[in-house]
Amino acid sequence: MDVAAGKHQLGTQTDRLLVRTGRTGLGAKAGHDLVIEVTRWRGEAVVDPGDPPASALTVEAEAGSLEVREGTGGVKPLTDSDRREIEKNIREKVLHTGKHPTIAFRSTGVEGTPESFRVHGDLTIVGVARPVTLECRFDGDRVRGTATVTQSRWGIKPYSAFFGALKLSDDVEVRFDVGLA
């Protein structure tokens, strides 16, 4: 671990924040598993390697900045038109970005070792705050990790099509890769 103590600015210049979705339902073969990137976000990590509970993390993302990067599976390949339609549905039907333009995370505690640790905090989506845990690990001067977000816990109805035959799984995975040099 080569991380310096202190405040570290995070964001799209050097870091990545991705959302991975899966599909379910009778029509699951018709849909795609997606990798969606949050393209406008910023954050701050306060790191104290000698006292992990003294560390903290805040992140704020523009809900309307999610862009489809990859779609796997499905009967046919994902087209640019499909990507635009998915992004529109995310903004208008899932995240309601006109009313809730920001997604935010604020840590409430850190536990574990520098090699493997958890960041507990409150995630606010569509104006609703719920606790979530980030599973993290250091990789040199970078932190990589994941969190599972169960959409229904935030009052989000997972997207569906074809009269409910094709549904997005309730659980989505958030992945991050951030530098703390």
Tens of pLDDT, residue by residue, the chain (181 residues): 556 788 999 999 999 999 999 877 655 566 778 999 999 999 999 988 778 888 999 999 999 999 999 988 877 888 899 899 989 999 999 999 999 999 999 999 999 887 789 999 999 999 999 999 999 998 888 899 999 999 999 999 887 766 555 678 899 999 999 988 6
Amino acid at 116: S
Residue 1: inside a domain, yes or no?
Answer: no
**What 3-state DSSP class applies to 91?**
helix
- The answer to whether 37 and 20 are in contact (CB under 8 A) is no
Say which CATH number the domain at 170 has: 2.40.128.110
Residue 86: inside a domain, yes or no?
Answer: yes
The count of domains in the chain is 1
Residue 91: inside a domain, yes or no?
Answer: yes
Cα–Cα separations (whole angstroms), residue 163 to 105, 152, 159, 167: 34, 19, 11, 9
Tokens 């989506």 identify what position?
125
Q: Which domain holds residue 174?
A: 6-179
Residue 172: inside a domain, yes or no?
Answer: yes
Rounded Cα gap, residues 70 and 110, in angstroms: 32
Would you state the pLDDT for residue 73? 83
Residue 73: inside a domain, yes or no?
Answer: yes
Residue 43: inside a domain, yes or no?
Answer: yes
Would you state the pLDDT for residue 24? 75
Would you state the pLDDT for residue 25? 63
